[in-house]
Amino acid sequence: MRQKQHIVQRYEDELLHLRSLMEQMGGLVEHQLSLILAGIAENDGRTALQAARQDDEVDALEQKVETLAIRLLALRSPMAADLREIVACIPMAGALERMGDYASSIARRLSQMEQPLPRPARLALSEMGRLVLEHLRRIMDALAHKDANAAHAIWAADQLVDKYCEAMTADSLEQMTRHPHTIRLHISLLFIIRNLERIGDHTTNMAERVVFMVTGATLPPTRPHGHDSQPLPPGQESPSP
């Protein structure tokens, strides 16, 4: 699992530190999502808002990852697996930072709700949020264990999130048509759904980087998408893995 020992101990330490920073970032974003889930379940905007407060920390960590990665590249001239790992960390930190942004956006929206979310919407959001969080957990584990197969599985599984997003959007639209006085609430809900779906998309970006980091191969540019009902234009059909 662990790489061969590097002769320069300092280099080894810096690599470990880089990995630890990535872990910390992942842990923070996971915690943000957990807080949001708790906020949704308890209908408590303040719990959710704690997630927004962690955003600065995520941003700071992204900066640290970037600086350290560049430092490693500049000073240690890493090769092969190390090189791929260090290079992959930069966009992965970027993806995590974006997820953090989406999470705080959801948190703010939840705390600014004028009327409490209806119970079915809360149950559905918890379900979708849990799915997204589970994918994030799996990709962070895949990164830690350098497991390309697991990463690939998550890359393909994100279509579940897409489908969920689509189902909830359809439901919201129907509700809005039926009960126009809930439009305000449903617009907020749509934004939250959309943000969750974007977090899911970023987990697939990370999955691509993990596969690259471990195998050196890149995944096809389009992945299986949940939008089966809308046929893709020819030539964009995603090749099945």
Partner 1 sequence: MASPLLPEIITAICACLALTGWAMVWHLSRRPHGTTRPDSPRPSAPPPGSVLPFHEATLLVDTIPGMALILGSVGQIMACNEAARTHYGNSLGALLRHPTAHSTLHSALHAPPMDDGLPAPCSTTIRLDVPVKCSVHLAMRRLPGAAGRNSLVLVLLHDRSLIQAVDRMRADFVAHASHELRTPLASLTGFIDLMKEGGDQTDQTSRTLYLEIMSQQATRMQRLIDRLLYLSQLEMKGHHHPREELEAEELFALVLGEVTPRFQHDSRRLTVTQEDSLTLLANRDEMVQVLLNLIENAIRYGTMPERTLHVRLHARRATPAEGPTSSLPGLLITVEDNGPGIAAHHLPRLTERFYRITPPSDSSHAEAGQGTGLGLAIVRQILERHGGQLHFTSTVGQGTTCHVWLPAAPLPQDQTAGK
Residues that bind partner 1 (CB under 8 A): 1-2, 5, 7, 9, 13, 16-17, 19-20, 23-24, 26-28, 30-31, 33-34, 37, 54, 57, 119-120, 123-124, 127, 130, 133-134, 137, 140-141, 144-145, 149-150, 153, 160, 163-164, 166-168, 170-171, 226, 228-229
Collapsed DSSP state (helix, strand, coil) of residue 227 = coil
| Shortest Cβ 61–partner 1 spacing (Å) | 11
SS3 content of the chain, % helix, strand, coil (to 5): 80, 0, 20
| Shortest Cβ 33–partner 1 spacing (Å) | 8
| Shortest Cβ 177–partner 1 spacing (Å) | 15
| Shortest Cβ 170–partner 1 spacing (Å) | 5
Tell me if 21 sits within 8 A of 65, measured CB to CB: yes
Residue 140 or 185: which CB sits closer to partner 1?
Answer: 140
Tell me if 203 sits within 8 A of 132, measured CB to CB: yes
Residue 88 or 154: which CB sits closer to partner 1?
Answer: 154
Cα–Cα dist 233/227, whole Å = 12
Residue 10 or 46: which CB sits closer to partner 1?
Answer: 10
Residues 6+ apart with CB under 8 A from 186: 172, 173, 175, 176
| Shortest Cβ 24–partner 1 spacing (Å) | 6
Q: What is the torsion angle, in degrees rounded to the nearest 10, for the CA atoms of residue 228, residue 175, residue 41 and residue 225?
A: 10
| Shortest Cβ 75–partner 1 spacing (Å) | 18
| Shortest Cβ 82–partner 1 spacing (Å) | 16
CA angle 131, 205, 172 (to 5 degrees): 45
Upper half-sphere CA count for residue 66 (Cβ side, 13 Å): 12
Burial of residue 167, with CB atoms counted within 10 A of its CB: 0-12 exposed, 13-18 middle, 19 or more buried? middle
Residue 112 or 173: which CB sits closer to partner 1?
Answer: 173
Cα–Cα dist 233/125, whole Å = 31
Residue 151 or 185: which CB sits closer to partner 1?
Answer: 151
Residue 155 or 164: which CB sits closer to partner 1?
Answer: 164
Tell me if 200 sits within 8 A of 98, measured CB to CB: no
Residue 88 or 132: which CB sits closer to partner 1?
Answer: 132
